[in-house]
Structure 1
Amino acid sequence: MKHQVILMSHGSMAKETLNSAKMILGDTLDYPVVSMQADDGIKGTLAKLEEILQTIPEKQPIVIIADLLGGTPANVAVLKSNSDPRIKVVTGLNLGMVLESFFALEDSEIVTRLLDVGVKAVTQPQLENDEEE
């Protein structure tokens, strides 16, 4: 069954990461976003997430990609996943993960794929040196 992906972050990071992904994949990528504002706190962020969850069919699996391990958006997502077994949470939101999620929506191993892409996205690129030293 196709997963529903939800992006969560402090401020507009999730929304703007989604906008960047749309530049690459087009408007076919349209995930709901929870953008926590400074005055939202846990209650406000939870209310935003619950509003989105009400629109998702009861049996559809959900993957939430949150920005920061231990931050309010991720903590709210984990809190909600404790009472809703459809929800899996991944932290470390980045553009590579959002792009990969689009191609993994029907993959039962979507979380593993997202973790793999997320880890590989953090690197120090090296220029290739074609000259002999």
Structure 2
Amino acid sequence: MIGIVIVAHGGLAREYLAAVEHVVGPQDGIRAITIEDDHDRSAKQAEIRAAADAVDSGGGVVVVTDMFGGSPSNLSLMACEACEREIIYGANLPLLIKLAKSRSLGVHA
């Protein structure tokens, strides 16, 4: 089963996770990481990598960020250096619900 890490500006990542769980029920193996303008970038990069490692049960990890080129996306790049890890830019609720329901298919399905 693939793990999911949602990384977004402000509290958006937490709210996306709450909305996904409201629709499809509680989800193991999904983490939400918030990025604020006053956060230490190195610490956040390490937090994202640790979250990706924590949700990786062997089926790979998808990191979903709110927008291409933003801090959440740039800080997530190092977490996806390992094989079977991908980044999807442009998080939205329908995408996250579909991803949560398709976790058994694998990263490249």
Aligned-residue offset at 1:40: 1.6
2: CA distance between counterparts of 1:56 and 1:65? 13
Q: Give ranges in structure 1 of 5+ residues lacking alignment.
A: 113-133
More strand by share: 2
Q: Does residue 105 of structure 1 match 2:84?
A: no
RMSD, aligned α-carbons: 2.2
Greater Rg over alpha carbons, structure = 1
Q: Which has the higher contact order (CA 8 A, sep 6+)?
A: 2
Contact 1:21–1:29 at 8 Å: present in 2 too?
no
Other-structure match for 1:17: 16
**1:23–1:72 distance in 2 versus 1, CA, 3 Å:** same
SS in 2 for 1:59: coil
Other-structure match for 1:89: 87
Runs of 4+ in structure 1 over 4 Å off: none
Q: Give ranges in structure 2 of 5+ residues lacking alignment.
A: none
Q: Deviations over 1:67-95 (max 9, x none)?
A: 110011111222332x3123100010110
1: CA distance between counterparts of 2:57 and 2:23? 31
Aligned residue runs from structure 1 range 60-79, under 5 A: 60-79=59-78
Counterpart residue identity of residue 18, structure 1: L
SS in 2 for 1:32: strand
Contact 2:60–2:84 at 8 Å: present in 1 too?
yes
**1:69–1:57 distance in 2 versus 1, CA, 3 Å:** closer
**Number of equivalenced pairs:** 109
Counterpart residue identity of residue 49, structure 2: E
Contact 1:9–1:67 at 8 Å: present in 2 too?
yes
2: CA distance between counterparts of 1:71 and 1:35? 13
Aligned-residue offset at 1:58: 6.6
Contact 1:90–1:111 at 8 Å: present in 2 too?
no
1: CA distance between counterparts of 2:96 and 2:45? 22
Alignment identity in percent?
A: 16
**1:95–1:29 distance in 2 versus 1, CA, 3 Å:** farther
